[in-house]
C-alpha cells in the first residue's frame, strides 16, 4: 500500500470518499481538528494499492503534474453536481484500475508504464 496526503475542504471529503470507493481504496482524515480552522481544511490520506499508486504516478508524469494534483483534480470532478465529459473519463479510469487489480496485477510488473498510457488514452 502507498499513501498520498491532500489538504481538502470538509466539503470535498465526501467526494474523495466516493472516488475511493469507486477505485477500491481507503480514505481517512489524518488530523482530528481542521488544519486551517477558518477554512475548514483537513489533511486527508488516500491509501491505495501499489499498482494504483505507480500507475497514477506515471500518468501524472505524462501530464506534467504530481500525483497529488491528479488526485485533487479527480476529487474536484467527483464533487461536481453533474458528470462532465472529463468526469466520465475519470470514472472509466477508476474502472480500469479496479479491473487491472482484479486480474492480479500488483504494480511490480514492468507493464505499469503501459497502464499509465492506457489511463491517459481513456
10-47 pLDDT, tens digit per residue, is 788 888 888 888 888 888 877 766 666 677 788 888 99
Cα dihedral sign, 79-82-25-100: negative
Structural domain span for residue 37? 2-121
Percent over 70 (pLDDT), the chain? 92
CA distance 2 to 49: 6
**In total, how many domains does the chain have?**
1
Q: Which residue from 34, 23, 28, 26 is spatially nearest to 59, judged by alpha carbons?
A: 23
Gyration radius of the chain's alpha carbons: 14
Question: Which residue carries 511490480 as its cell?
Answer: 108
> What does the pLDDT average to over 81-101?
89
pTM above 0.75, yes or no: yes
Contact 41, 35 (CB under 8 A): yes
Residue 69 has a pLDDT of: 93
- Sheet hosting strand 41-48, strand order edge to edge: 2-9, 41-48, 26-29
> What does the pLDDT average to over 81-106?
88
Amino acid at each position: 500500500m502507498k499513501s498520498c496526503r491532500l489538504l481538502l475542504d470538509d466539503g470535498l471529503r465526501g467526494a474523495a470518499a466516493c472516488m475511493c470507493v469507486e477505485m477500491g481504496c481507503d480514505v481517512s482524515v489524518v488530523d482530528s481538528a481542521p488544519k486551517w480552522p477558518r477554512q475548514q481544511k483537513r489533511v486527508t490520506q488516500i491509501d491505495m494499492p501499489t499498482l494504483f499508486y505507480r500507475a497514477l504516478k506515471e500518468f501524472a508524469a505524462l501530464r506534467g503534474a504530481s500525483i497529488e494534483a491528479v488526485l485533487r483534480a479527480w476529487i474536484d470532478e467527483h464533487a461536481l453536481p453533474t458528470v462532465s465529459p472529463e468526469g466520465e473519463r475519470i470514472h472509466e479510469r477508476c474502472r480500469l484500475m479496479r479491473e487491472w487489480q482484479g486480474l492480479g496485477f500488483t504494480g511490480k510488473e514492468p507493464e505499469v508504464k503501459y497502464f499509465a498510457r492506457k489511463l491517459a488514452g481513456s
